[in-house]
A and B are shown apart, each in its own frame.
Chain A
Amino acid sequence: GENVEQHPSTLSVQEGDSAVIKCTYSDSASNYFPWYKQELGKRPQLIIDIRSNVGEKKDQRIAVTLNKTAKHFSLHITETQPEDSAVYFCAASPSGGSNYKLTFGKGTLLTVNP
């Protein structure tokens, strides 16, 4: 089955700096890669996702890049703010419309220091 490795497990940055979280996956059939943000005591929420036919996607301060050859994808957050502090999870799925099996990484605790 799919295996998703996520690094680092913890990340501390100063407000205004950039943060990068990296994930690798094992199943070459995976073609959908979402990122979820979970604030303390709350439910995970989707912040951005990318499909395998796209190499990069950006939404304001957040961007995701995908390298299918190397089987890795990354989350980039620019101009970090204290409210970006949370646990971030990457995930991979072979969802091609017929399968919704989703495998998550173990998460990265991001702390943005004011």
Chain B
Amino acid sequence: EAQVTQNPRYLITVTGKKLTVTCSQNMNHEYMSWYRQDPGLGLRQIYYSMNVEVTDKGDVPEGYKVSRKEKRNFPLILESPSPNQTSLYFCASSPGTGLLSYEQYFGPGTRLTVT
């Protein structure tokens, strides 16, 4: 089944404790992206990647890191989480080529709480 997976789905952690949220897609998509969703603010792009080893900042990159060492994986790293990073996080992927190149396929989401 074609899909985007994220792990963990739920995470409660404490301020300053490094964490990684994994994202993987099995559709051979070139493009991947991370978003955070907060009430009243919609979806805001954190980072995106056009291909392996190519990443760029979205609108809210502060406090986050990403890497794209393999085409299928795009982990989101919070080196020192703070309470203002409590949010619902979505990973997404997109083909990157062809007529359907821009449709984004979202993962199920990761609900992160930082205390």
A101 within 8 A of B: yes
With a cutoff of 8 Å between Cβ atoms, the chain A residues found around residue B75 in the complex are none
CA A93 – CA B56 in complex, angstroms?
14
B-side interface residues, number (CB < 8 Å): 25
Are A44 and B31 in touch, CB under 8 angstroms? no
Bound: A69/B30 CA distance, A: 32
Contact of A104 with B42 at beta-carbon distance under 8 Å, contacts A1-B59, A43-B90, A44-B90 already known: yes
The answer for the CA separation of A91 and B40 in the assembled complex, in Å, is 15
Asked if B48 and A100 sit within 8 Å, CB to CB, the answer is yes
Beta-carbon contact of A104 and B43 below 8 Å:
yes
Cβ of A105 to closest chain B Cβ, rounded Å: 6
A contact residues, total (Cβ < 8 Å):
23
Is there an interface contact between A102 and B33, defined as CB atoms closer than 8 Å? yes
A45 in contact with B94 given A101-B45, A101-B56, A104-B42 (CB within 8 Å): no
Q: Is the CB of B109 within 8 A of A100?
A: no
- Chain B residues lying within 8 Å of A105, measured Cβ to Cβ, are 42
Q: Whole-angstrom distance between the alpha carbons of A100 and B104 in the complex? A: 10
Q: Which residues of chain A come closer than 8 Å to B102, judged between CB atoms?
A: 32, 34, 49, 93, 95, 100
What is the interface of chain B, defined by CB distance below 8 A to chain A? 31, 33, 35, 40-45, 48, 50, 56, 58-59, 90, 94, 96, 101-104, 106-109
